[in-house]
């Protein structure tokens, strides 16, 4: 009987974990939505969080490079307005999610992660 009660409690715990939505401190959008934001918004930063070597091989026009590895949970001098729209990307989307989370933890309130440059269909600066 104790075993059955344990199984039922454990199952309920797992079910509860899977059903609760994860709250992110940033928004995730697709590439088309990111392009629309770039077209319609006035004051934003495009943030490439790849390494500088990757950045110089090709990046989205007007993007600045701050590698994910140097971003921590402290505000950055290059990003002096915590409420400014910051559009974050990397190569595939993994590092941009990590960087977006760290930026949100550092107090940036308008962080938008849009994946990787490997899926980008817009212009690239070489």
Half-sphere exposure (Cβ direction) of 8: Cα atoms closer than 13 Å: 5
Asked if 90 is an active-site residue, the reply is: yes
What DSSP state is assigned to residue 59?
Answer: B
Collapse the DSSP code of 125 into the 3-class scheme (helix H, G, I; strand E, B; otherwise coil) and give the result.
strand
Q: Which of 9, 17, 65, 90 is catalytic?
A: 90
Strand 64-65, strand 44-48: pairing: parallel
From the list 21, 24, 47, the residue with the least C-alpha distance to 34 is: 47
Active site residues: 90
């Amino acid at each position: 009987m104790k075993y059955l009660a344990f199984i039922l409690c454990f199952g309920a715990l797992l079910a509860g974990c899977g059903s609760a939505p994860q709250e992110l401190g940033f928004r995730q959008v697709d590439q088309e939505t990111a392009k629309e934001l770039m077209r319609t918004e006035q004051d934003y930063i495009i943030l490439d969080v790849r390494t500088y070597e990757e950045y110089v091989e090709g990046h989205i026009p007007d993007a600045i490079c701050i590698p994910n590895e140097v971003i921590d949970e402290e505000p950055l001098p290059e990003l002096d307005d915590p409420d400014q729209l910051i559009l974050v990307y990397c190569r595939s989307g993994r590092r941009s999610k990590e960087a977006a989370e760290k930026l949100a933890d550092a107090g940036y309130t308008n962080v938008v992660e849009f994946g990787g440059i490997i899926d980008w269909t817009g212009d690239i600066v070489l």
